Amino acid sequence: MTGGGAATSVNGVLAELFAAAAHGCRDRSPLTQRLLTDAADDLRQGGVTARVMAGSERDREGAVPGLRFAGAVHRLVLEGRAPGLAKHYPSVGGRPHLPTLWQDALPALTEHTDLLRYRVQATVVQTNEPGRSAPLYGGLLVAAQEAAKAAGRHVPFCVRLLEVGASGGLNLRPHHVGYRLEDRVLGDPDSPLVLDPEWTGRPPADLGHRLRVVGRAGCDLHPVDVSTEDGRLHLSSFVWADQPQRWNRLRDALALAAADPVRVERSAGPEWLAKQLARTERDVLTVVWHSVVWQYVSPADRAMGRAVLADAAARATPTTPLALLVFEPRRTDGDYRFELLLKLWPAGISLNLGRGEGHGTPFTWDVTPWE
């Protein structure tokens, strides 16, 4: 009796994390919201979802167990293993019918319990959303030009881009992406990936200057090889199936990755960053970048990463400047707001460049001090 009560209590906590993830999907993915809401109810009742999530009951909020569950279910659909559920998934040509979604999900959950449990435990959330290249591109233009002004230069710096938590590396090609504004396309108009950045306002930079990227590298504890079918399926499974715009972005970003491959190294962030920042390049702005990854980083690695960056910042010079550019959520009034933040050394510039949706678009440029 005691053991059963404890299991019920643990599943209740996990159900609340599923419900929180469902809340995060509101107004954006009704399909995912309904799946996670019904799965949360099933967890409370000790149903098949409890068997799928066995071993993950004590996951912390930052591990987003609900989204890992939804991704594992979506991958079943993408692989053709859940034909009865596929009719609800636009990613494979279906149309959601939310009142019957859960009853059609139950046979797939029951048949593939062991596979789903394995995938939930073996994976981390990997959206690698290419839409985030839009605020990144604007932020890099600001960083390159502000660093040049501080150094008394008339020409913006070239950029070396270092991404921590790079996943499949889809955002390591900002200079090879097109960004469609009302009257022109910034970046590369001939790119396989042309984004509508949905900007309100504009970055505080001369948009006529071309972004010059002379080096890029990335690391991840669980890098995704997007040159493989498994890697492409892995990233696809975390895109909400009823968001066709994101589906199209991912397809085009994968095409760009095939044409312009960049290797993502398997490594913890602090160690990798220390190695990368030990080398400086004259007349190049080194930019450390990460997006929607901070919640997955342990407190110890956060502290180590800050120390590595502080050491590099102390060594930065006007001819070897350093920048930190991040797009991460901040909790405000019980919800989250995603902000683009920039620091420049040795210029001593610290800016909040604006805010946007977690997938990078739309984005509002509104420059204030980063405090």
* pLDDT tens per residue, range 56-114: 888 887 788 999 999 999 999 999 999 999 999 999 999 999 999 999 999 999 999 99
Residue 5's pLDDT is 54
Q: Is the dihedral of CA 19, 22, 26, 31 positive or negative?
A: negative
For the chain, the helix, strand and coil percentages under 3-state DSSP, each to the nearest 5: 45, 20, 35
**pLDDT higher than 80, residue 335:** no
Helices (H), 87-152: 98-111, 113-122, 133-150
Distance CA 115, CA 229 (A): 18
* pLDDT tens per residue, range 9-50: 778 889 999 999 999 888 889 999 999 999 999 999 999 999
**Residue pair 68/40 in contact by the 8 Å Cβ criterion:** no
Domain layout of the chain by residue ranges? 2-122, 130-226+241-369
> In this structure, how many other beta carbons lie within 10 angstroms of the beta carbon of residue 27?
6
Residue 27's pLDDT is 83
* pLDDT tens per residue, range 292-325: 988 888 889 999 999 999 999 999 999 999 999 9
Read off the pLDDT band of 3 (50, 70, 90): very low
* pLDDT tens per residue, range 103-145: 999 999 999 999 999 999 988 887 789 999 999 999 999 999 9
Q: Which two tokens stand for residue 101?
A: 């979604």
Read off the pLDDT band of 2 (50, 70, 90): very low
Looking at residues 360-368, what average pLDDT do you find?
A: 96
Residue 4's pLDDT is 52
Distance CA 366, CA 52 (A): 44
Residue 296's pLDDT is 81
pTM value is 0.89
